[in-house]
C-alpha cells in the first residue's frame, strides 16, 4: 500500500488530533481539532501548545506530561471555551511519540467532543423530570385544590358570622392563605396540563422588548442597566409569544434580582447557531436561535446550580422556586433547551436555544 499523507488521515478521523514536537510546538492540527479549539491550522502551527487553550488546560497539561515521559493519559469532560457559542465538553488524551531509535520526539494530543452526548443525557433527564413534575402537580391539584375550595368557603362563612374582631381576623387569615395556596397550585398545574401552544410567526426581539417593557417599572431593576445585543438578521420563528414572555420574564427577573443590591448590567444577546448535526431529525445541522441573559451578579453556587429547575427550590425570601422550572417547561414545549452557567463571583448566563425547525414531538401538540 502506498504511504498516505498523515494530515489527510488525521482529518478523516472523528476525533481531533494535535501533533506536537519535542519542544512543545504544534506541528499539525487536524480539521476536528481546529474546529474544537476554534483555531485555524495556520494560526496554530509553530505555536507553543500552552497557547492553544491556556497553560492550565488539560490540552497543555497532558501534552507536557507526555513530553516529560509521563506516558499516555486521558482526562474526561474538560470544558473548552469557545469564542462563539457555549463551551464544549471535550475528552482529552495525550501520548508520547518516539522516533526509530526509540527517542522521544514529540506527542500527540487527541480531542473527542462529548458535548452532544452530555446534552442528550441532560435532555433525557430533564424530560423525565418534567414528566414527574406533571404527575405530582396533577396529584396535588386533585388532593389539595378541591378541599381547599371547601376550606375557603368555610372561612368566608366564619368571617361573616364572627361575633368578635379576633375571630373575624382568624377567619380572614384562613381565606387569604387558602387563596395563596390556590395560586401556587395553579402555577404548579402548568406542568400537569398539556395545553396546546398557540403558534404564530414572531420576531423574538419583539418578545424580548415586551419582557423589558414589563420590567421597566419594576423596582427590582432600579440599579441595573440593560443592554440589548440583538442580531438583526435573525429570522422569524413559529412560537407562542405569551409563553415565551412568561419564560423570558422569569429569566430576566432572576438576573435583575441577583443584581438588585449592588447594581450591574443585564445583557440580552441573540444570535443564530447551528445545532449539532445529530440533533436534527434528518441528520442535518439544525439552525437554532440562541438567546442569552447574562448578569454580573454574585453567581450561583455549583451545588445549587445542579439542582436548579426543581420546583420550590429557592434561596430568596418570598421566592416560589418555580421560575426556572416554568421557563424550562415552556422552552421544552417549543422543542428548545435552557442551560444555566455560572461562576460564583462572575455572574450567570441563562442560555436558551430555540430550534428554527421544531423536531420535538412534545412541541407538536
Ligand X SMILES: Nc1ncnc2c1ncn2[C@@H]1O[C@H](COP(=O)(O)OP(=O)(O)O)[C@@H](O)[C@H]1O
> Which residues of this chain interact with ligand X, rule CB under 6 A?
250, 254-255, 258, 295, 297, 300, 308, 313-316, 319-325, 348
- Interaction of residue 323 with Mg ion, rule CB under 5 A: yes
Closer residue to Mg ion (CB): 323 or 336: 323
Closest among 347, 351, 356 to 338, alpha carbons compared: 351
Rounded CA separation 363/239 (Å): 10
Question: Which grid coordinates belong to 126?
Answer: 430533564
**CB–CB of 348/299 below 8 Å?**
yes
- The site partner of 204 among Mg ion, ligand X, none (C-beta below 5 to 8 Å per kind) is none
Closer residue to ligand X (CB): 53 or 300: 300
Compute the least distance from the CB of residue 94 to ligand X, in Å: 37
- Interaction of residue 286 with Mg ion, rule CB under 5 A: no
Closer residue to Mg ion (CB): 130 or 175: 130
Rounded CA separation 109/25 (Å): 12
Closer residue to ligand X (CB): 19 or 252: 252
- Interaction of residue 348 with Mg ion, rule CB under 5 A: no
Compute the least distance from the CB of residue 177 to ligand X, in Å: 19
- The site partner of 7 among Mg ion, ligand X, none (C-beta below 5 to 8 Å per kind) is none
One character per residue 159-188, x = contact with Mg ion (rule: CB under 5 A): ------------------------------
Measure the N-to-C terminal CA separation of the chain; round to a whole number of Å.
57
Compute the least distance from the CB of residue 271 to ligand X, in Å: 20
Compute the least distance from the CB of residue 189 to ligand X, in Å: 17
- The site partner of 73 among Mg ion, ligand X, none (C-beta below 5 to 8 Å per kind) is none
Closer residue to ligand X (CB): 254 or 288: 254
Options 33-41, 167-175, 233-241, 319-327: segment touching Mg ion (CB under 5 A): 319-327
In the window 210-269, what residues touch Mg ion (CB under 5 A)? 254
- The site partner of 29 among ligand X, Mg ion, none (C-beta below 5 to 8 Å per kind) is none
Number of residues forming the site for Mg ion (CB under 5 A): 2
Rounded CA separation 72/358 (Å): 43
Options 70-78, 97-105, 284-292, 322-330: segment touching Mg ion (CB under 5 A): 322-330
Compute the least distance from the CB of residue 219 to ligand X, in Å: 16
Closer residue to Mg ion (CB): 30 or 254: 254
Compute the least distance from the CB of residue 203 to ligand X, in Å: 25
Compute the least distance from the CB of residue 180 to Mg ion, in Å: 17
**Residue nearest to ligand X according to CB distances in the complex:** 323
Closer residue to ligand X (CB): 148 or 220: 220
Closer residue to Mg ion (CB): 36 or 349: 349
Phi-psi sector, 349: left (phi>0), alpha (psi -120 to 50), beta: beta
Compute the least distance from the CB of residue 317 to ligand X, in Å: 9
Compute the least distance from the CB of residue 258 to Mg ion, in Å: 10
**CB–CB of 359/353 below 8 Å?**
no
3-state secondary structure the chain: CCCCCHHHHHHHCCCEEEEEECCCEEEEECHHHHHHHCCCHHHHCCCECHHHHCCCCHHHHHHHHHHCCCCCEEEEEEEECCCCCCCEEEEEEEEEEECCCCCEEEEEEEEEECHHHHHHHHHHHHHHHHHHHHHHHHHHHHHHHHHHHHHHHHHHHHHHHCCCHHHHHHHHHHHHHHHHHHHHHHHHHHHHCCCCCCCEEECHHHHHHHHHHHHHCCHHHCCEEEEEECCCCCCCEEECHHHHHHHHHHHHHHHHHHHCCCCEEEEEEEEEEECCHHHCCCCCCCEEEEEEEEECCCCCCHHHHHHCCCCCCCCCCCCCCCHHHHHHHHHHHCCCEEEEEECCCCCEEEEEEEECCCCCHHHHC
Closer residue to ligand X (CB): 34 or 342: 342
By the criterion CB under 5 A, which residues form the site for Mg ion? 254, 323
Amino acid at each position: 500500500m502506498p504511504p498516505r499523507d498523515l494530515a489527510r488521515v488525521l482529518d478523516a478521523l472523528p476525533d481531533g488530533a494535535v501533533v506536537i514536537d519535542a519542544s512543545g510546538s504544534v506541528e499539525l492540527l487536524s480539521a476536528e481539532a481546529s474546529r474544537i479549539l476554534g483555531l485555524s491550522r495556520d494560526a496554530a502551527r509553530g505555536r507553543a501548545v500552552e497557547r492553544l487553550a491556556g497553560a492550565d488546560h488539560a490540552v497543555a497539561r497532558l501534552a507536557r506530561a507526555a513530553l516529560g515521559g509521563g506516558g499516555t493519559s486521558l482526562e474526561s469532560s474538560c470544558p473548552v471555551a469557545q469564542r462563539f457559542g457555549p463551551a464544549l465538553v471535550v475528552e482529552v488524551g495525550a501520548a508520547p511519540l518516539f522516533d526509530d531509535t526509540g527517542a522521544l520526539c514529540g506527542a500527540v494530543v487527541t480531542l473527542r467532543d462529548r458535548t452532544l452526548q452530555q446534552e442528550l443525557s441532560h435532555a433525557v433527564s430533564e424530560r423525565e423530570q418534567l414528566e414527574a413534575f406533571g404527575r405530582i402537580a396533577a396529584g396535588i391539584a386533585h388532593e389539595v385544590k378541591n378541599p381547599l375550595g371547601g376550606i375557603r368557603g368555610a372561612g368566608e362563612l366564619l368571617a361573616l358570622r364572627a361575633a368578635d374582631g379576633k375571630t373575624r381576623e382568624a377567619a380572614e387569615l384562613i381565606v387569604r392563605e387558602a387563596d395563596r395556596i390556590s395560586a401556587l397550585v395553579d402555577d404548579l398545574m402548568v406542568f400537569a396540563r398539556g395545553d396546546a401552544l398557540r403558534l404564530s410567526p414572531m420576531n423574538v426581539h419583539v418578545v424580548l422588548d415586551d419582557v423589558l417593557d414589563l420590567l421597566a417599572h419594576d423596582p427590582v431593576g432600579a440599579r441595573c442597566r440593560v443592554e440589548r445585543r440583538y442580531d438583526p438578521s435573525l429570522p422569524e420563528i413559529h412560537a407562542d409569544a405569551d409563553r415565551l414572555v412568561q419564560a423570558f420574564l422569569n429569566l430576566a427577573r432572576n438576573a435583575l434580582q441577583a443584581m438588585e443590591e449592588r447594581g450591574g448590567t443585564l445583557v440580552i444577546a441573540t444570535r443564530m447557531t447551528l445545532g449539532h448535526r445529530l440533533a436534527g431529525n434528518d441528520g442535518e445541522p439544525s439552525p437554532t436561535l440562541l438567546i442569552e441573559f447574562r448578569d454580573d451578579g454574585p453567581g450561583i453556587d455549583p451545588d445549587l446550580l445542579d439542582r436548579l429547575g426543581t420546583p420550590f427550590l429557592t434561596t430568596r425570601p418570598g421566592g416560589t422556586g418555580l421560575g426556572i422550572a416554568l421557563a424550562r417547561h415552556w422552552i421544552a414545549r417549543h422543542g428548545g433547551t435552557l442551560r444555566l452557567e455560572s461562576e460564583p463571583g462572575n455572574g450567570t448566563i441563562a442560555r436558551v436555544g430555540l430550534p428554527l425547525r421544531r423536531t420535538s414531538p412534545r412541541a407538536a401538540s
